[in-house]
Every structure is written in structure tokens, then in C-alpha cells.
Amino acid sequence: MKKECIAMLLAGGQGSRLHALTDRAAKPIIPFGGKYRIIDFPLSNCANSGIDVVGVLTQYQPLRLNSYIGSGLPWDLDVQNGGAYILPPYQIAGENGKWFSGTANAIYQNIPFIEMWDPEYVVILSGDHIYKMDYADMLAQHKAHAADCTIAVLRVPLEDASRFGIMETDGDGYVHKFVEKPQEPKSDLASMGIYIFTWEKLRQYLVADEADPNSEKDFGKNIIPKMLANRERLWAYPFSGYWRDVGTIDSLWEANMDMLSPDVIDLYDRTWPIRSRSPVRPPHYIGRDAEITHSIITEGCDIRGSVSNSVLSSSVTVGEGARIDYSILMPGCTVGPGAVVQYAIIGEGATIGANAAVGAPPNGKTNILITTCGPGSAVANGGVIPAGTMLYAERRDG
């Protein structure tokens, strides 16, 4: 069935900068904002934008991510002539199977899937960004400017620009220069890693790039520069809303803290809902002596201590006399009586023993140091985990 536009969602990255949190899980499946997983945001954006075919390209630790997405039902993507499709690397007759070797190669390997829908346009997305965006508006601008590629851009502080792919545009808004992570940036227009391509044009470049033995098979390093060199029409789509790449421990913690301010990103907007596959849990319980201030508490939590400026996912237990400050507690973790958790991320199913101390507030002389306890890790009763520590679970692989 022909579709005007489909989305390809790159969700196969290892997320190595999240260390213990992605030791056994892909970055897009990491819990976020109490009720969500990171991948809920681009999937919800697709559904809200009217895009009902989403190819999800998985690679690293795909099992939980595949199970979570399923048929796409929670995001209204389980339609008869569309849906969410899991697209792992695969082997075809006469060839050896191989991993995706770059973002462009991942799309190249899935040309047959794309052509099954015969689209005019293809949206390329990342599975590890937190934001709300109407791709339909971006597509309208792509068509209005007769672009071959439209790149979503966000203005960033110039001192941070070296972390991004940076665009320079002419007076009409078309891109005339692109530099991937420049040492001395001359523009503050950062690529968000969100692209809309005219499919016929993109297919030509994917095939040519795949045949280039010197290519890194990457959109930012290869496809976009080659299109610019050939004077293709690249349009910069300006975005002014909230957007965060949560690829590091610090950025993940900061983005969760942002969720405590509805004026930063409104999770309660009924016109643009962020959907998720929410577990069925009983209502959260707040004990007689519990105190909660400026926090997100999700279903199934049992709170008997104090919680402030924190984000608690489902089925978290906070014991009597325990204190949680400026921290993220992921699903199913337990904090024992009298324990203190400050400026920390506690992974799924982790256990903090009674009277333990995890993390510490900044001392005024250094930046905030986030302490991380990985999924399934355990801190003994009375244990002390210093600020900035990365704690992994014990391996039981035999």
C-alpha cells in the first residue's frame, strides 16, 4: 500500500555513555520521567503527526525493546495498513549477515521494507531524544521549499556547539555548509538528528554511499556532506521547543529533573499525549509519616519516608525514615528504612539497604556528581556509595 510518508526510527545504539544503565539494555528502553521509556517520545510524535508506518531499527540488546514495542498498540500504531515494525539486521540468500555499520547503512539495509510502502518521503529519527514535535509541519515545509532533505535544527549556546553537527544557512534558510562537531563552530544552528528526505533522492545517495569503501555509512559524516557538495536543496527546519539528547548520565538526570517543571515540557497536554506501555499496578500508597515535595510518583509506589525533587517510576518502595532528594528511582527499586539517596539514579530492580547512604549534594566547589546504581545492583545495609560512583550489578552469567 502506498504511503505519502513513513518513519524510520534508529533505536539500535548501545548507549555506552550510560554505562551501568545500558549494560544489559538498549538506550531507548531506559525508563524516563516516571511513566515512560525514552522511545515513547518519538513513537508518540509519529502517532500524533499522523505517521502510521514506523520501522524501528534495533541491534544492541534488542529483546526487551522488541517486547516493549510489540504491535505498537499503546501508540495507536496497530493499524491494518501500517503499524510499528521491528527491523533487526538480517541475512539474505547468498550473503553473510552483518550488523548495521552506521546510520546510513541501517537505512540502506532496509530499502526493501521502505519500498514495500512506496513512500514519497521518509522521516529519519533517533530513539534516544526527549522532545515533542509535529513532523507533519516539518513535512509541509519540506514540500513548500522543494527540498531534497530537510534537517531539524535547534539554536544552542555557541560554547556547546562543538558537540553537535552545525549548520550554516543562507538568507533564504537553505543549508550551504555542514560540519560535524566542529572544533571552532561559526554557527549556533545544531542538527537534531531528525531528517525528512525525498525518498527517490535519498535512495540514490544510500546506494552510492554503500559502494564507497571509504565511507563511514553515516548521515552526518557522509550523506549530508555529499548532498551539499552536489548542490542538492537542503532546508533547515527551525525548532524552538524542548529537546534533549539523553545519551549521558548527566543529561539523563537533568532531563528527568526538567520533567518536574510543566512549563519546560508539558506531559499533561491532551492535544499531544506521550503514550507508553504502562504496567498494571495498584494505586501508589503514601504512608502516614511520609513527606513528598515537588516530585513525580507513579502507580504501585509505596512511600513511607520523604521524597523531594525526585522522579519515581512504578513499584518503587521507600522505607520508613528514608530520604530521597534530587534523584531518579526506576521501576521496582527498593530503598530500605533510614537510607539516604541524593543526586542519584537508581536502576530497575536495584536495592538500597537500610541506613545506607548513596550519593551526596554538590559541595559548592564542584559540579554536581551523579551517583548511579545499575539495574539489579545492591547496596548493603549501612553501605556508603560516594558521589559520582558507578555501581554495576553482580554478573551471574556463569
| Residue 113: alpha-carbon gap to chain centroid | 23
What share of the chain has pLDDT > 70, as a percent? 95
In this prediction, residue 17 carries a pLDDT of: 85
Phi–psi pair at 75, nearest 5 degrees: -105, 15
Average pLDDT, the chain: 92
Residue with cell 537542503: 234
In this prediction, residue 98 carries a pLDDT of: 65
In this prediction, residue 159 carries a pLDDT of: 87
295, pLDDT greater than 90: yes
Cell representation of residue 205: 545517495
Which of 327, 322, 323 lies closest to 312, judged by CA? 327
* Alpha-carbon torsion angle 105, 110, 115, 119, nearest 10: -70
pLDDT in tens, 128-161: 899 999 999 999 999 999 999 999 999 999 888 9
In this prediction, residue 94 carries a pLDDT of: 43
Region of poorest pLDDT, from 6-15, 356-365, 379-388? 6-15
d(CA 358, CA 353): 10
Q: Give mean pLDDT, residues 222-238.
A: 96
Cell representation of residue 108: 540502506
Q: Which comes out higher in pLDDT, residue 338 or 24?
A: 338
d(CA 324, CA 373): 14
In this prediction, residue 241 carries a pLDDT of: 92
Q: Could you give the 3-state DSSP secondary structure of residue 1? A: coil
In this prediction, residue 15 carries a pLDDT of: 66
Cell representation of residue 363: 559541595
What share of the chain has pLDDT > 90, as a percent? 75
Q: The pTM is what?
A: 0.93
d(CA 275, CA 272): 9
d(CA 10, CA 56): 6
d(CA 319, CA 328): 16
Query: Residue 78 half-sphere exposure, CB side, CA atoms within 13 Å?
Result: 7
- 3-state helix, strand, coil split of the chain in percent (to 5) is 25, 25, 50
330, pLDDT greater than 90: yes
Region of poorest pLDDT, from 203-207, 308-312, 394-398? 394-398
In this prediction, residue 57 carries a pLDDT of: 92
Given pLDDT bands bounded at 50, 70 and 90, which one contains residue 263?
confident
Which of 379, 365, 292 lies closest to 334, judged by CA? 379
Given pLDDT bands bounded at 50, 70 and 90, which one contains residue 395?
low
pLDDT in tens, 81-116: 899 999 987 655 445 556 788 899 999 999 999 999
Cell representation of residue 382: 549501612
